[in-house]
Chains A and B, each alone.
Chain A
């Protein structure tokens, strides 16, 4: 087998050195009843070529985003990734390294994480960020638990316009904790229903902008109302590119900003792995309660600058049952892809990219709004918006797929039994004018 270096001669010599007669002698602690005689009933080893054939056959059953006019968003977005990114993350020293527990031989990972943390803090308008979370939804869930620890309160109010997967992931994490998570009625309105629930016993409110319907929200007044009652504001985003054009959560009063970083550097990957961004205000109270890994600056024995993982006493391997979270890993390689892409963009490129996304979405909204019976529901959006259709959106999406157009996500897929006639569509820099024309024509055709 190509991944196993030993020859039978090696194995024999090594068994001799150990002083046992056969490999079975090393498995004698396994209860006899559980020893597997022979092989488990699965296919035998295969050559590289035959594995490739099998995987290729499965891959070819999927329609890839780049092979069709593509307008799907709802929490994951198709963006162009510079080829430099994938080349660099495949460097052996990044790809095949472990968590940087030995900082003297992990400065590559640690410095990039330090830069990543800084970029995330700047993008979100916050003071500090951690070294990433599994994804946006788990970052959101962890933020709620953190807010409860910081405020010593046990109630979280989530807006109905937060991505339902994020709400479900949060409710699941909080399910057997003391934290009670409530969600306001989903819809395209403002945040009034959330504002009404702000009270002295609430740990945090969770609001998303752009929200799951693509609608933008000004968080300033609700943040003020929350802070007046000692309630923390958690701002969620699923499209990080938006922050190149839209006001940052930190500038609108958020105490914790969490979101999905997938749209920068990571790619679609059918839903994962992605990279959760987690940032907060610089408050000692907050930083001690922050989940996940943190890279920090220090000096070596010669006084030279270097980086280490720090504040790890918050973490499970030291705190055990008193840890801030059970999280052990971050999303290292995706965070690396994110930071490389962001470094290539710089704020100049990011702003331009965000502007192009918005303009493309505006063009798309104009084109679709013209279709009889189709209505754009948002008054403010970035690169995604909701459409009301004159028929069932799920059927429309299936019909569009039949004519080779991937035309968005029916809102009912996220909110079962609700919004049957609402379609969520996203546009990015990857959509051409021709894509938009094809989509508009196809949509007209299936209605």
Chain B
């Protein structure tokens, strides 16, 4: 018999324990590969692009040639690819799993949106091209404006705000402009519930208003008596999130709107949670005067690791004339862009930014809206609310629901169920990381102790929700069973252990410098 004994073994040697080899020589752990900074990898002599030769002709720089050092390394194309692909694998993403960040609406990002945004007719067009060469781009802005105004039941929309907070600024500026135009210059106080996003008070102050906080009642909604007591002739308006940051619909919203209008103020609605009601409720019917819409939340444009966002802001009849420049108008078959305040019929309060808004987000959002249609969008709201209530109902026996009753698109829990376990909301969140989930929003809203705000969105399947619920159930039971250390040590299965944010803030290192020791090697 001709016997080849050099073949590959197909199983491990017997009696081998796989535990106890947590550290590796390279710092990588299998597919979780350590990746140094480009400054530790590249060289200033290296480049990953091929460019034509320079001609060496005489410059016309007026003697302003750069003398100062750059010091930026380059990487070849394969090294670049590997650097960023390796880094990408250290990120959680909606494409990897449920991303239950309350108030952030992490839903599926359809790739059709990406494909449409990259059509050369949209992506490779300059904002200052002559109008005759960009009619389709103006049309996209106009069509999207039509969808937003119709969905909101509002007669105006400012398209240029670059993110949600920028849209808030737009709405509050429109209110300020309207008040000033009407001689209501004594109205400088804005009412903001204490459960509001931090952007609300910050925005009000940027527009020259003072902030007056309204407490929540025991149901997690605006305390109506406190609200009424704060009305007066110096009130400019109210900034209210609806559904609110506790995931609850403000039942008294019409009364709030009526009272604020009667008092001579305006109603700014933070539209961050529009996903809960899109297609089912028009904010205009609730008495809203201005509301920003986060296209990256409700209308599925990707969050991209923190932007870009886009925050078109719908406006009521009273405020529409104060919308900022620029905006598009349809004249017969063609579209025109109004770029200057002097060319506008109304009284724009100014300009928010250069050019015409986040076109790349407009094309994505419009693609998404057309895909869903009015019927699909209504289903979006319904499934989003259904999913949040399903989570709340199924976890209420092991976790503590902050407010009784059904919720809208997000379920809010507090930390009472962790009482006496030694496990904090932060620990609980970090333990979710070990289970393969991104944690929910934690410690927000501020009105709830140790808040955990879970927003599943409509794009999660029932079986996916079931797995998530079972995981949280098991974690809650483990916490109650005294497995405290497991929580306090978490995460242990993530690309890094828990990071020291105090050190980062006390001794800020905000950039690489040649003297930064690569501490990674020390750890190896």
Number of A-B contacts (CB under 8 A): 722
Ranked 9 nearest A-B pairs via Cβ: A346-B74, A380-B62, A59-B121, A333-B304, A271-B355, A271-B127, A61-B136, A176-B208, A172-B350
User: Which of B92, B363, B509 touches A105 (beta carbons < 8 Å)?
Assistant: B92
Q: Give Cα distance in the complex from A56 to B72, angstroms.
A: 40
- Min Cβ gap B479→A in Å is 19
Q: What count of chain B residues pass the 8 Å CB interface test?
A: 212
Residues in A with CB closer than 8 Å to B285 are: 33-34, 36
Which B-chain residue is minimally distant from A49 (CB atoms)?
B112
- Contacts A108-B88, A248-B66, A325-B202 given; indicate if A92 touches B354 (C-beta within 8 A): no
Task: Find out whether the CB atom of A304 lies under 8 angstroms from the CB atom of B38.
Answer: no
Do residues A63 and B509 form an inter-chain contact, with CB atoms below 8 A? no
Shortest A416–chain B CB gap in Å is 5
Whole-angstrom distance between the Cβ of A218 and the nearest chain B Cβ:
6
Contact, CB under 8 Å: B68 / A51: no
Given A4-B379, A18-B390, A251-B67: A343 and B42 interface contact (C-beta under 8 Å): yes
Asked if B90 contacts A297 (CB within 8 A), the reply is: no
A170 to chain B, nearest CB (A): 10
Taking CB atoms and an 8 Å cut-off, the chain B residues in 355-376 that contact chain A are 355-361, 363, 366-367, 369-376
**Does B508 belong to the interface (CB within 8 Å)?**
yes
Segment touching B, from A193-201, A221-229, A306-314: A306-314
B360 touches A134 (CB 8 A): no
Chain A, 265-311, CB within 8 A of any chain B CB: 267-273, 275, 287, 293-308, 310-311
**B304 touching A95, Cβ below 8 Å:** yes
A419 contacts the other chain (CB 8 A):
no
How far is A87 from B118 in the complex, measured between Cα atoms in Å?
12
Q: Does B453 contact A (CB under 8 A)?
A: no
Q: Does A230 contact B (CB under 8 A)?
A: no
Interface assignment of A438: CB less than 8 Å from any CB of chain B: no
Chain B residues contacting A307 (CB-CB under 8 Å) are: 499
CB nearest to B66 among chain A residues: A247
Interface readout for A24-61 with B: 1 if CB under 8 Å, 0 if not? 01110111011110011111111010011011111111
- Complex interface: chain A residues within 8 A of B444 (CB): 317
| Given known A-B contacts A95-B302, A329-B165, A344 and B80 have beta carbons under 8 A apart | yes
Q: Is A163 part of the contact surface with B, judged by Cβ < 8 Å?
A: yes
Chain B CB within 10 Å — which of A5, A19, A66, A328 has the most?
A328
The contact sample of 17 A-B pairs, CB cut-off 8 A, is A3-B110, A5-B461, A29-B408, A36-B279, A36-B280, A42-B150, A43-B373, A52-B112, A62-B134, A63-B125, A89-B304, A97-B94, A169-B353, A267-B124, A272-B359, A298-B501, A346-B44
B residues less than 8 Å from A44 (CB atoms) = 373-376
In the complex with contacts A23-B382, A33-B254, A58-B139, A298-B305 CB distance below 8 A:
no
Bin chain A's interface residue count: 35 or more
Q: Which residues of A contact B379 (CB under 8 A)?
A: 1, 4
Asked if B519 is at the interface (CB within 8 A of a chain A CB), the reply is yes
Residues of B within 8 A of A51 (CB): 112, 116, 367, 370-371
Q: Which of B61, B202, B357 contacts A326 (CB 8 A)?
A: B202
Pairwise interchain contact B198-A318, C-beta atoms closer than 8 A: yes
The answer to the question of A123 belonging to the interface, with a C-beta cut-off of 8 Å to chain B, is: yes
Q: How many angstroms between the C-alpha atoms of A217 and B52 in the bound complex?
A: 28
Query: Which residue of chain A lies nearest to B136 when distances are taken between CB atoms in the complex?
Result: A61
Q: How far is the CA of A105 from the CA of B133 in the complex (A)?
A: 44
Instruction: Select the residue from A29, A76, A117, A380 with max chain B CB neighbours within 10 A.
Output: A29
Q: Given A319-B202, A347-B70 in contact, is the A41-B374 Cβ separation under 8 Å?
A: yes
Contact, CB under 8 Å: A114 / B512: yes
Q: Which residues of B contact A122 (CB under 8 A)?
A: 70-72
A189 CB-CB contact with B under 8 Å = no
**Minimum Cβ distance to chain B for residue A358 (Å):** 6
Query: Using Cβ atoms and an 8 Å threshold, which residues of chain A touch B248?
Result: 29
Task: Identify the closest chain A residue to B62 (Cβ).
Answer: A380
| Identity of the chain B residue whose Cβ is nearest the Cβ of A429 in the assembled complex | B51
Q: How far is the CA of A243 from the CA of B67 in the complex (A)?
A: 11
How far does the Cβ of B112 sit from chain A's closest Cβ, in whole Å? 5
> Which residue among A30, A87, A90, A340 has the maximum number of chain B CB atoms within 10 Å of its CB?
A30
Among B13-21, B223-231, B490-498, the stretch in contact with A: B490-498
Of the listed stretches B2-10, B100-108, B416-424, name the one at the interface; the rest are far from the partner chain: B100-108
The CA-CA distance from A67 to B125 in the complex, in Å, is 10
- Measured in the bound complex, the distance between the Cα atoms of B150 and A165 in whole Å is 30
CA distance A5 to B386 in the complex (A): 12
When A134-B353, A333-B304 are in contact, do A114 and B94 touch as well, CB less than 8 Å?
A: no
Q: A36-B279, A272-B355 are in contact. Are A293 and B80 (CB under 8 A)?
A: no
CB pair A4 B134 closer than 8 Å? no
Interface residue stretch chosen among B168-176, B313-321, B470-478: B168-176
Query: Which residues in A have their C-beta under 8 angstroms from that of B350?
Result: 168-169, 171-172, 175
Quick one: given A273-B308, A348-B45, A401-B132, are A104 and B358 in contact (CB under 8 Å)? no
A138 at the interface (CB under 8 A from B): yes
Q: List 6 additional A-B contacts (Cβ < 8 Å) besides A20-B389, A216-B64.
A: A3-B110, A51-B367, A61-B139, A176-B173, A308-B501, A350-B72
Residue of B nearest to A398 (CB): B130
**Which positions 325-380 of chain B face chain A at CB distance < 8 Å?**
339-340, 342-343, 349-361, 363, 366-367, 369-380
Given that A42-B150, A104-B497, A352-B51 are contacting pairs, would A64 and B306 also be in contact in the complex, using a CB cutoff of 8 Å?
no
A119 within 8 A of B: yes
Q: Name the residue of chain B whose CB is nearest to the CB of A57.
A: B136
B28: Cβ under 8 A from any A Cβ:
no
Q: Contacts A34-B281, A42-B150, A74-B128; is A359 near B173 (CB within 8 Å)?
A: no
